[in-house]
Structure 1
Amino acid sequence: MTTSYLIRRERFIPAPASAIFEVLATPALHSVIDGSGTVTGEQPNGPQRLSKGARFGMDMKIGAPYKILNTVVEFEEGRRIAWRHFSRHVWRYTLQEHDGGTLVAEEWDARSVPGRPLLKLLGFTRKHPESIERTLENLDRYVMGQRLP
């Protein structure tokens, strides 16, 4: 079985791309929409709104709490935003507006990470598909004004 180091999921959200992008570009909302349960901080260090090259720190927890510093590496207002940290894997969101809403894709791209097999051993390649789907569901609920579980 081949391990994929690029995991992508999509969800159609019946909202304008600008509203969805605003949530993604606001680091304080990342813990609200996170479907993995690893983003714990609601007060990230860095700008209130992200832009190309912006750096922002997040409180995280996988077993033990830790902090991570991310850098925005892709940014196209209303269409694309991506960030990475020291291990070089990228979290990317792309938005395509259609009549009645927006197709949102989230990707975890670890193709350029040195030591990729370690990611598989730690279970990231197995857990991320479901976590990404939950994040997109949470994003949908948040943007549509529904209560999150």
Structure 2
Amino acid sequence: MTKRTRSVWASRLVEADRQRVFDLLADPAMHPVLDGSGTVRDVQPGGPDRLGPGVRFGMSMQVGVPYRILNTVVEFEEGRRIAWRHFHGHRWRYELEDATTEDGRPATQVTETFDWSQALTKRWLDLSSVPRRNLVGIERTLARLERHLREQS
């Protein structure tokens, strides 16, 4: 993590087709299943079945107390990249690249990023423990993503 880039990220190699991984991430109903932070509780009813450019979707969250948040997809490249932000401006981004396992099987390199470079509360986030906690959540999310894909194979 650096304050200059104002982002934290982690990557993980998962043994799954890139489009399969993307389809899972683009399904808002899967976010509570994959979330490693323990804060995403449920998708708000009436939202989209699949995310796309400019799509808005709500989530029920809990950090101490329950609350709701409305997100907007702000980056979208089918099968490769998806990112969303809420009103504070920080982004959650997934980037996917084709890869292979050590023994040559098809896989996907998944990178998840928490980016607060455009957040309204940049300075507060710089001084807080939120980025470090989010990095732990990212690492857990990537592990849950890998486990879910393996169990669904």
- Relative to the length of structure 1, the TM-score reads 0.91
The equivalent of 1:142 in structure 2 is 148
- Relative to the length of structure 2, the TM-score reads 0.89
The equivalent of 2:114 in structure 1 is 108
Give me the whole-angstrom Cα distance separating, in 2, the residues matched to 1:137 and 1:40.
18
Matched letter for residue 18 of structure 1: Q
Matched letter for residue 70 of structure 1: N
The equivalent of 2:93 in structure 1 is 92
* CA gap 1:10/1:137 in 2 versus in 1, 3 angstroms: same
**Contact in 2 for aligned 1:74/1:83 (Cα 8 Å):** yes
**Contact in 2 for aligned 1:44/1:59 (Cα 8 Å):** no
Aligned-CA RMSD value: 1.8
Aligned length: 146
- Of residues 121, 124, 129, the one that matches 1:118 is 124
Give me the whole-angstrom Cα distance separating, in 2, the residues matched to 1:43 and 1:2.
33
Give me the whole-angstrom Cα distance separating, in 2, the residues matched to 1:115 and 1:79.
28
The equivalent of 2:36 in structure 1 is 35
Give me the whole-angstrom Cα distance separating, in 1, the residues matched to 2:13 and 2:92.
19
Identity of aligned residues (%): 49
Gaps of 5+ in 1: none
* CA gap 1:123/1:24 in 2 versus in 1, 3 angstroms: same
Shift of 1:119: 2.0
SS class of match (1:138): helix
Give me the whole-angstrom Cα distance separating, in 2, the residues matched to 1:42 and 1:57.
6
Any residues of structure 2 matched to 1:121-132 within 5 Å, and which?
Answer: 121-132=127-138
Give me the whole-angstrom Cα distance separating, in 1, the residues matched to 2:35 and 2:2.
27
Give me the whole-angstrom Cα distance separating, in 1, the residues matched to 2:94 and 2:46.
21
Give me the whole-angstrom Cα distance separating, in 1, the residues matched to 2:50 and 2:2.
38
**Contact in 1 for aligned 2:43/2:58 (Cα 8 Å):** no
Shift of 1:5: 2.0
